[in-house]
Amino acid sequence: MRVRDVLQKLGWRATHGPYYLDPVEPKERELDVSATRTWMTKRGITAHVTLLVECKSGRNSAQLLAQAAKRSDDPLYYDWLGDDDRRVRRPIANKVDDRRLMERFQKLAYPRERALVLPVLADAPRAPFRATATREPSGKESGPMWDATQKVFAAMRGTIRSENAETLEQMLQDLDSVRDNMKDAEWVLRRAIDTVMLFHPIVSIESPLMLVDENGDMTNVPWCRLERGRVFGGDQDWIDIVNADAFETYAAEATAWYERILGRAAAK
C-alpha cells in the first residue's frame, strides 16, 4: 500500500492488488501494484505507460547480484495492434477480405516504412547499476526475488495477451458494422493502431542489494537493473530491483524521466 501511495502522489493511477489472467494456467492471479499514466502526442498517438510492481519482505536477508557492464538503452516492453504479426494480421485480413484495405492498413501502421508509434516507444530510465544474476547468501536459486520476478513477468505477459485479444475482438466487431464502407473501415483500423501500451517491470524488496564485481568486492546499491538471458541466447529480459527504503526516490526519478521523454505531449 505504501508503494501504491507513493505512485499516486506522483500522479500515477495506481491500483493495489490488480488481477491478471495467468498466461500458463487459465486462472486469475493478483499482482501487488500496477500504476498507469497516459501521454498523447500532437499527432494523436496515445501511449499508456504501466509500472508493474511486486513487493517482497526479507529485510534480514541480503540479495547478491552479479555486476554487469553498463549500457544506455533498455526499450520498454510494449504491445501494439499495428505490429506486423501474423497472429494479428490474419484475423483482420479474414474479416475485411479486401486486399486494398489491408494495404492501406500497412501504410497507416508504417508510414514512410516506420512504425506509427515509434515516437513513443520510449526507453526505461537509465540504470546506474546492472546485474546479470541474483542469489541469496544461502546459495538458493529460488526465493523471494525469483518468485517476485516470475510473478511480474507473468502479469505482464498475461496483461498483453488479454488486452491484445480484447482490442482485436472489438476492432473486428467494428469492422463488421462498416463492412461496405471503405472510409469508415479505414477509420476503425486507424483508431485501433493509434494506441500503444508500454510496460516497466519492477520488484521492490526489503532485502539489502549487494552488487558483487568480478573481484568479489561488494557494494550496497539502492536499485539496479537485472538482466535475464535465456540458455539458448536470444533477447534478454530486464527488470528493476529496488530496495524498499529507496523506492520513493526511485519512483520520483522514474516519473521525472517519463515526463521528460513523453511529456512533449499533453499528459492525461
Q: What would the pLDDT profile of 31-50 be if each residue is shown by its tens digit?
A: 999 999 999 887 788 999 99
Quote the domain boundaries for residue 249: 2-267
Q: How far apart are CA 89 and CA 56, in angstroms?
A: 40
- List, in order, residues 6 or more apart from 197 with CB less than 8 Å away: 48, 50, 78, 79, 80, 160, 163
Say how many CA atoms lie within 13 Å of 243 toward its Cβ.
20
Q: How far apart are CA 157 and CA 151, in angstroms?
A: 10
Q: What per-residue confidence (pLDDT) applies to 10?
A: 97
pLDDT in tens, 136-154: 665 555 678 888 999 999 9
DSSP state of 133: E
With cut-offs at 50, 70 and 90, classify the pLDDT of residue 267. Answer: very low
| AA identity, residue 146 | W
What is the number of structural domains in the chain?
A: 1
Strand partners, 218: 212
pLDDT in tens, 57-115: 877 778 889 998 877 789 999 999 998 888 778 877 777 777 888 888 889 999 988 99
Q: Residue 268 above 60 pLDDT?
A: no
Q: Is 51 exposed, middle or buried (0-12, 13-18, 19+ CB in 10 A)?
A: buried
Q: What per-residue confidence (pLDDT) applies to 134?
A: 76
Q: Are residues 262 and 42 in contact, defined by beta-carbon separation less than 8 angstroms?
A: no
Q: Are residues 50 and 200 in contact, defined by beta-carbon separation less than 8 angstroms?
A: yes
Mean pLDDT (the chain, rounded) = 87
Q: Residue 266 above 60 pLDDT?
A: no
Its pTM stands at: 0.90
Q: How far apart are CA 50 and CA 33, in angstroms?
A: 10
